[in-house]
Amino acid sequence: MYRYDEFDHRLVAERVQQFRGQVGRRLSGELSEEEFRPLRLMNGLYLQLHAYMLRIAIPYGTLSARQLRMLATIARRYDKGYGHFTTRQNLQFNWVKLAEVPDLLADLARVEMHAMQTSGNCIRNVTADHLAGVAADEIEDSRIWAEIIRQWSTLHPEFSFLPRKFKVAVTGSPRDRAAIAVHDIGIRVVRNGAGEVGFAILVGGGQGRTPVIGTWIRDFLPRAELLNYLEAILRVYNLLGRRDNLYKARIKILVNAVGADAFRAMVEAEWATIRGGALALPEAEIARIRAYFAPPAYRALPTVDLASAVRDARDPAFAAWARTNVHPHKVAGYAAVTVSLKPHGGVPGDMTAEQMDALADLAERFSFGEIRATHEQNLVLADVEQAALPDLWRALGAAGLATANAGLLTDIICCPGLDYCNLANARSIPISQRIGQRFDDLARLHDIGPLKIKISGCINACGHHHVGHIGILGVEKHGAEAYQVSLGGSGDENAALGEIVGPSFSADAVVDAVETIVATYVGTRTADETFLDTYRRVGLKPFKEALYAAH
């Protein structure tokens, strides 16, 4: 994985010192809250309902065992013994104290981590496919490009005060596991007719109160021009994006206002002025970054057919876990493993310090000491020998990390909601907990098959409800929590926005509504149809009728 060079080290160390001074001046009264707020937000420090929350950047979700151990230490030393993995592959601590944050950041810097650009109107932490480097269908490791973008965007002076926040995601595969269609810029590594590797570029996707699936503006961008082209997009947005209305400030609003063709023309015109210029990537530099993501020292192992090995496993509990949580790997004899952070009845994405330490040990024992965070709030061990899967499964189980539900109904994306968040209108975690308890029967869960539920506690959509197969949005209605349900959303390569089924449900009724939706699907599906297949075939109507039949 990437290791800091002298510039990274100096930059992060300087930032810790600057923030130490800023916190000191705030506590001594030299800075007012109005002066201090933008400074703390530039360092990922929010004020939430009960305490300050610190959001830590995990570039493209990749962590070393050493870094995960430091996060465990920080959870114990500065927080209440746990952290929360987010939908942007970041980690949040919920209970930090202002005066202690500079020491916390200094500890973090010791393992090459920081909290910069996890807030504010800048280019945020770049996300990527959590199976980067190991997926069989991959053209190229997306982390190489995410790292190049990270270096370019870090403290970029021209783009530190954009009209609004800006999110970039990269996938190296045709299959999209990084939800690129709902990012301000989505990048897909592609090969052109001549066999050259380059990028397809999508702009103006996003969720929030105005959900939009992004528009492709370029089918093929030569590799060397990646940063020049991104610079051109950002420049057009920075000049023309609205600054008068918070709700109309994202690039998706601009693209919609001027039209995709006009937007593309402006980007291409800007690109023409800088093409081949200072940001053109030399092959040697690409090779230097690529070397950081060179494959680990795999052993030569016999090819094993994963599906038949799982079928033949004698322990049905292991087989159930392997069926959903183990993924094919491009190297013979290896597999990638989803470490579920979705125990039934637990808090999606939460992880205790003890679990972090345990997983750091397991990563070293089984997966070359590397861990990835996924945007679906799980973790991945990407390079596990297939023969070691039963041992890993037992060890994960002992740490409470082996729930056999990856990609199934209880593998829910869920924002912190009104239990923690200052912006939320309704709680989201208790809904996911009750769904987990209701669908606790593993055989039933596996029979229902792939089904993504995503829950947000407000219109800002941190819980990705717009792209949930079943999306649940918490609202406040006459002073009480209520939940709007949508169906048919998807965040993958066939991205779609969900359609709202009808009037909202009370907190008591919403789990029953999910049950009704699932029953309607099970009663309607043909042999091999997934929930989404069935929905796309039959549409909203049968679900709507079943849900509102009694009214």
Min dist CB 74 to another protein, Å, is 16
Check: CB of residue 54 under 8 Å from CB of residue 39: no
Q: Does 537 bind another protein (CB under 8 A)?
A: no
Residue number with CB closer to another protein (97 or 537): 97
Residue number with CB closer to another protein (175 or 434): 434
CA-wise closest residue to 497 among 542, 546, 461: 461
When binding is defined by CB under 8 A, the residue of 476, 499, 529, 533 that contacts another protein is 476
Q: Does 101 bind another protein (CB under 8 A)?
A: no
When binding is defined by CB under 8 A, the residue of 11, 13, 41, 47 that contacts another protein is 47
Is residue 197 packed enough to be buried (19+ CB in 10 Å), middle (13-18) or exposed (0-12)? middle
Residue number with CB closer to another protein (47 or 387): 47
Of the candidate spans 6-14, 90-98, 399-407, 522-530, the one that interacts with another protein by CB under 8 A turns out to be 90-98
Give the Cβ contact number of residue 105 at 10 Å: 27
CA-wise closest residue to 130 among 56, 71, 200, 60: 60
Min dist CB 14 to another protein, Å, is 25
CA-wise closest residue to 123 among 230, 240, 209: 230
Residue number with CB closer to another protein (77 or 290): 77
Min dist CB 20 to another protein, Å, is 16
- Secondary structure string (H, E, C) spanning 385-411: EHHHHHHHHHHHHHCCCCCCCCCCCCC
Q: Does 478 bind another protein (CB under 8 A)?
A: no
The pair of three-digit structure tokens given for residue 388, joined into one six-digit string: 């070691």
Rounded Cα distance between 48 and 424, Å, is: 10
The pair of three-digit structure tokens given for residue 142, joined into one six-digit string: 């997306």
When binding is defined by CB under 8 A, the residue of 378, 433, 490, 534 that contacts another protein is 433
When binding is defined by CB under 8 A, the residue of 29, 193, 282, 302 that contacts another protein is 29
Of residues 305 through 364, those in contact with another protein by CB under 8 A are 347
When binding is defined by CB under 8 A, the residue of 88, 427, 452, 466 that contacts another protein is 427
When binding is defined by CB under 8 A, the residue of 50, 311, 394, 444 that contacts another protein is 50
3-state secondary structure of 27: helix
Rounded Cα distance between 109 and 348, Å, is: 27
Rounded Cα distance between 57 and 36, Å, is: 21
Q: Does 80 bind another protein (CB under 8 A)?
A: yes
The footprint of another protein on this chain (CB under 8 A) covers a number of residues equal to: 29
Residue number with CB closer to another protein (430 or 449): 430
Of the candidate spans 104-112, 209-217, 318-326, 475-483, the one that interacts with another protein by CB under 8 A turns out to be 475-483
Q: What are phi and psi of 372, to 5 degrees?
A: -120, 140
Q: Does 23 bind another protein (CB under 8 A)?
A: no
When binding is defined by CB under 8 A, the residue of 419, 492, 499, 529 that contacts another protein is 419
Min dist CB 98 to another protein, Å, is 6
Rounded Cα distance between 267 and 256, Å, is: 15
Q: Does 213 bind another protein (CB under 8 A)?
A: no
CA-wise closest residue to 217 among 179, 270, 283: 270
Check: CB of residue 143 under 8 Å from CB of residue 62: yes
When binding is defined by CB under 8 A, the residue of 255, 429, 496, 513 that contacts another protein is 429
Which whole-number Å values give the CA distances from 131 to 143, 349, 373, 381, in the listed order? 10, 18, 10, 9
Q: Does 193 bind another protein (CB under 8 A)?
A: no
Q: Does 41 bind another protein (CB under 8 A)?
A: no
DSSP-derived letter for residue 372 is E
**Using CB under 8 A as the criterion, which residues of the chain lie in contact with another protein when the complex forms?**
26-27, 29, 33, 47-52, 80, 95, 97-99, 347, 418-420, 424, 426-427, 429-430, 433, 476, 479-481
